[in-house]
Every structure is written in C-alpha cells, then in structure tokens.
Amino acid sequence: MAKTRLAAKKIGKGATLIAANTLVRGDVEFSDQLFVNGRIEGDVLAGEETGATLIISEEGSVKGDIRVPFVVVNGGVEGNVFAGTRVELATKAQVTGNVYYKLIEMQLGARVEGQLVHAEQASASAEVHQLAVGAEESEH
C-alpha cells in the first residue's frame, strides 16, 4: 500500500482539525497547529523553524513517529515523540515509545512505556556512540 502525504499549508494563523471518526493513513506535514481528535496512521512532521503545535485530544491517537516543536498529548501515541521545544503529557496520555524533549510537563495519570530522554542526553549519547565506532575502526 502506497503512503500518502497530507500537507496542511500555513495560511495566516490557522489550525487544522482531524475530526473524531476520521482516519488518516500516511504522513502528515503541517506548519501551524494540528488538532487530532481522530486517528493518524503515519508520521506527523513539522519543521523546527515553524514553531508548530500538535495537540492530540483524549479521543485522538497517532500510530507513527512525531517530530514537532510543541507537542501536547492527552490521547494515545504508538511511536517515538521528538518534541524540539516542549512536550506536555496530560492526564490521559498513553505513549508507547520514547519521548525526546528539551522541556517536559507530565501530569499525574500520564503513562509512558519507553524512555524519557532529555535532548542534551540524546546528543551526548550520539557523540559517545560515534566516538566508540571511530575508536573501533581505528583499531582495525
């Protein structure tokens, strides 16, 4: 099955709604605000320079990775969350995957089945891995 891309273009200060009882299959790219009350099966993407915000309501869900500057989750996510600036995990949030963040707010009741990784820790781990691989290559 071929993946489709849904692009929400920025027209002023607008918002896009994926309504309840709606299923989107494929990656979703946007640059302003995206409210998910339905389901997305695919990655959700917004460039860091956009300052975009993704809000997943209690009824909403995403099955795929999320790469968005500002993320608010109060529904379900099956995939990794890469919040470039801030992530808020509200009371009903259920994340199955790792959460990468610079700033995090997690309310009582939110659940994460994965790791919470601060952005600086993630970049430091990548540098250590690169150093270890470089050292192994120089030994051979």
Q: What is the pTM of this model?
A: 0.78
| 51: CB partners within 8 A, 6+ apart | 69, 70, 85
Yes or no: say if 35 and 72 are a contact pair by the CB < 8 Å rule. Answer: no
CA torsion sign for 130, 83, 25, 16 is negative
Number of domains in the chain: 1
3-state secondary structure of 102: coil
| 49-73 confidence digits (pLDDT tens) | 989 999 999 999 999 999 999 999 9
| 92-132 confidence digits (pLDDT tens) | 999 999 999 999 999 999 999 999 999 875 554 444 445 44
Q: Give the full edge-to-edge strand order of the sheet including 76-78.
A: 23-25, 39-41, 61-63, 76-78, 94-96, 111-113
What is residue 50's DSSP assignment? G
* Domain extent for 11: 5-139
